[in-house]
Structure 1
Amino acid sequence: MTRTAVVICPGRGTYNKPELGYLHRHHADRMDMLRRFDALRAEAGQERVTDLDAAGRFSVSKFSRGDVASPLIYAASLSDALDLADDIEVVAVTGNSMGWYIALAVAGALSPENGFRVVNTMGTLMQDHLIGGQLVYPFTDETWKNDPVRKAELLADVARINAIDGHDLALSIDLGGMLVLAGNEVGLKAFETSQPVVQNQFPMRLANHAAFHTPLQAPVAAEGRLRLGVELFSQPTRPLIDGRGKVWWPGATDTHELWDYTLGHQVTEVYDFTRSVQTAAREFAPDLFIVTGPGSTLSGAVAQSLVQANWHGMKDKAAFQERQDTQPVLLAMGREDQMALATG
């Protein structure tokens, strides 16, 4: 019996110490593809992806860099997507932030090599420029119950800070029950000062993350458009859901518009991951949401997005967990037990 699935690709921050060696552990059979990625890195004078994955130790300072994390996450996520079981029919693909580039490859709008070119180029440009930073702050509590009033209060505080001379602060990613905020140092510090510490860890700064999805990234978008031509893009073979909730349909996609969005709006404007997941649920009603690896942290944001949409009557974390225990709707391939359910 066929299982329908929406594949969701992760962004930065998902290749951490536990993931070191992910490619060698799970995808040794994909070395031909990985060596092609290595060759592209060598052309750019960069360390090979397979060597990075085989490193003897993990350091945050190195592995959180855009020019290191991005190609590793791309290689792992795409390899996971290629390993899905034969009985799984992928009805749509989406991703979070950098995961949009991976989704383009999983959906066939970029070849594996061209997808790698896009990811490696943009990750390197982000690192070279490193404009601004990011932090994460929740607007829901540990029960995941939606709190639109608290969300509005936080966004009002962001707007207040952004209006102060010399302060840049904006919503970067709408991420389930979390807000990812981005801005310059004084803008980020102002928010950290104005809001209480919650759940013993937030607001949380993200290491080596620039002010993604804000106008501060305009120079990166401009350089990306110069380096990455529209000829890299082709018609997707699977429906793609972008960071606005827009669906790009096979056979009906203007590839110039797709290029323009990917290296324009997607870089400098808010990425609404919550809406992309909810669009996937409502438009495609899949049996499963499959989050590719590495890591499994994105699965929480997917679950929170579904809870906010009251998907299948799941109104909070307890209801989601009850559904997962009886009939799982979410599989995170970064978890060994759930990878087995997705790969057969």
Structure 2
Amino acid sequence: MKAVVICPGRGTYNKTELGYLQRYFPDAALLSRLDDQRRCAAQPTLTELDQAARFSIARHTRGDNASALIFAATLGDFLSIDRSAIDIVAVTGNSMGWYSALACAGALSPHDGFRVANTMGTLMQRSLIGGQLIYPFVGEDWHPQPERREALIDAVEDIASRPGHALFVSIELGGMLVLAGNEAGLSAFEAVAEPTQQRFPLRLGNHAAFHTRLMAPVAEQGRDALPASLFGNPVLPLIDGRGAIWWPGATDRDALYAYTLGTQVTETYDFTRAITIAAREFAPDLFIITGPGTTLGGAVAQSLILSGWRNMASKDDFRAIQTTQPLLMSMGIPEQRASSTGFREA
């Protein structure tokens, strides 16, 4: 069975994920080495965070802690996939999940991938420039509404043109837009956006203005802290946040480094495009979303609908396919993890 693996980003290690590494991480020696890296940086270890008596929003969702936990959970799930049953044809990720994807695809070693994710998460937390919010342009039926999206883009551009207002499209996330900017820009959007689905527009706690030019100082700090020598050729095809494919044996290390610690940090991350390219170029039987969390499935399905994959045009169309022959599996859902052929429990 051919599969594309998708690595989740920030906001996916929450209260229900507490203990995820203890339950699922398959390599105790590797986890110990990652703990040592955190210990050397005078940071709480993954084991301490994951095995805490209770989940703390203030502690566990901080960029320096959340990025480390999410990377480790993703890597552990990737290592748990039975490669004799699952042929992984490509790897991609959402936002911070790009760092995880680099390690899963072999462009970074597990140790160096953790170093990159932990360093960037720490730098983001120290700066904490701006913020993010999320807002949908599709209804609850997930039917594409391009005119609605265009109206939202017009509103973003109008707000961004005002003195003192910064607002950008941070992530194209299926049927949703993740917007980022300064407080003036975010508040102005909240003032004009019609409340919908009982929770949007939704501010994302402990998130900075990721994937915008406001992050240029953080990108520069990342390049100062992380050498290009950490990077190498992937062993699996990698699909980035523009939909570009980095091929094994044909990847320029310096270009990959420049994208990862430059473009990827300061420009819109088009996750929708990445999923579209994954479907059209690799035609997988299955999309596997690693843990932690269970929140990325909707965005993947919406991205496939927006791309017209298998003639899907709505949530009902996706459900019909998913019911008869599962197209999407989430390792963060215990039932799917346990019942999906090819997954080994730790």
- TM-score (structure 1 length as normaliser): 0.98
Equivalent position to 1:315, from 309, 313, 316: 313
Per-residue CA shift, 1:124-180, capped at 9, x if unaligned? 000000000000000000000011100000011000000000000000000000000
**Residue 72 (1) aligns with residue 36 (2):** no
| Distance in 1 of aligned mates of 2:142 and 2:178 | 16
Whether 1:54 and 2:47 are equivalent positions in the alignment is no
RMSD across aligned positions (CA): 0.7
* Map of 2:162 onto structure 1: 164
Are 1:239 and 2:266 matched, yes or no? Answer: no
Of residues 97, 108, 111, the one that matches 1:110 is 108
Q: Deviations over 1:271-312 (max 9, x none)?
A: 000000000000000000000000110111000000111211
Runs of 5+ consecutive residues of structure 2 not aligned to the other structure:
none
Whole-angstrom CA distance in 1 between matches of 2:313 and 2:193: 27
Which contiguous aligned blocks of 4+ residues in structure 1 show a shift greater than 3 angstroms?
Answer: none
- In structure 2, give the amino acid aligned to 1:62: R
Residues 23-62 of structure 1 aligned to structure 2 (within 5 Å): 23-27=21-25, 29-62=26-59
Partner residue, 2:60: 63
Percent pairwise identity:
59
Partner of 2:302: 304
Number of aligned residue pairs: give it: 341
CA displacement at 1:338 relative to structure 2: 1.3
The 5 A counterparts of 1:181-220 are 181-220=179-218
Deviation at 1:191, TM superposition (A): 0.1
Q: Residues of 2 paired with 1:104 and 1:127: CA distance?
A: 21
Paired AA for residue 343 in structure 1:
F
Q: For 1:234-273, what aligned pairs fall within 5 Å after superposition?
A: 234-273=232-271
Measured in 1, the distance between the counterparts of 2:20 and 2:247 equals 32
Deviation at 1:227, TM superposition (A): 0.4
Residue in structure 2 matched with residue 84 of structure 1 by the alignment: 81
What is the aligned partner in structure 2 of residue 343 from structure 1? 343
1:184 positional shift: 0.2
Quote the Cα distance in structure 2 between the aligned partners of 1:223 and 1:10: 24
Deviation at residue 61 of structure 1 after TM alignment = 1.6
Alignment TM-score, normalising by the size of structure 2: 0.98
* 1-structure distance, mates of 2:244, 2:177: 20
Where does 1:272-287 land on structure 2 (aligned, <5 Å)? 272-287=270-285
- After superposition, what is the alpha-carbon deviation per residue over 1:171-215, rounded to whole angstroms, capped at 9, x for unaligned? 000000000000000100000001110000000000000000000
Structure 1: gaps (5+ residues) = none
